[in-house]
Structure 1
């Protein structure tokens, strides 16, 4: 069943000034996107690429080549329907608007006298949302980091949410779109000197409730039946203690 799309028009306004990245927002919800204020605590010492800058900038690597290099727009914690629309745009596939309009509950259950008006309203929302994702090449996504315990052999924590096998899945309009990480093998590694590991553990706390605010550059799209996959490269991420709201580290990921 299709998710309710009222509020997607907000996204069109958000995308109008998307030249510079903004800190991520709350977890994806229907329709709107919003910026999430970054925590002001200093990053853990010894973290690769750590920076005291208040607002992260788009890494220079994001201006590199590739089929999607010219797409500079950014989506912040996009909802599921927005990601399906983005997938269609990246893949160059025609939108099945007629079917989506008829599947919308506002059209399906509208009295006969109101159906035409509801069809027009739903189609307008879909068309506005589809226009808003055009040119988007960057994603800012907040997710649970799924942080491992410290590995003294390699001197590192592992951000398992960014592992090469990890996927972020979005479902809407009867379609499923997965987002994967091309450079997950490198991105998942958070190097910390052994002498500082216990201090990091203390800051994380016993439950290891750590979130990651991740900046992704879109690198490709793989169409498939019933949906497909958007491939990305992790450019940078910030690890944050959810309970205290303190920033643990800001990590720039080497680009190949």
Structure 2
């Protein structure tokens, strides 16, 4: 194992001046396997102009152990390979940069731009066609949502909630920063189980493909009128007939007229 020694400025150090040297231990005759335990081993310089000179143990101190020569060669080889790879990469990058510069010069050429104009327009047309098809596909997959759920979604989107944020925060509205009431509306809708299926999948589809609002049922005027008349008759049947000398039909007619007059309509709608 090579060592690094510092030669001291002593007469016994020989010709080597004071300084650091690469050296090795010398084995003493007669010690045999006890060489390693000898505290007074001389050293021999193995590199430089003073290579081969022996330095007595009292003329040097050990600075440190040096790596074996094989390890040094391995590290040097690794560094050389890394430098070579870096050189190859630099060369490849330079080639790419040169190619990009050539393409850039071509794009600045009006003739080149004119030649590619039809292709560019064709790509733009294809992109527009694909966007239209995607929009049409998504429109065809829209789902219906109740009006209050759709209103809550619009409010949440306006407040900056993303589709993923809406779906996550509706599970625990109280943990959201704001819009707790709107998130509760969404949660109530999702938790409403119909035929063993929740509305979670419907909510997901609405966030992905969009939605329409479930139309409210139109009011039936005749049904409302029938309900009002039924209420009048029930009220008439539940009151005791006064002693005014009128017949049942006359008293019922009076109550019908009185009802519609109280609602601001002097003319019966039939």
TM-score, normalisation: structure 2: 0.18
**More strand by proportion, 1 or 2?**
1
Greater relative contact order, per chain length (Cα 8 Å cut-off, separation 6+): 1
**More helix by proportion, 1 or 2?**
2
For the pair shown, the structure with the greater C-alpha radius of gyration is 2
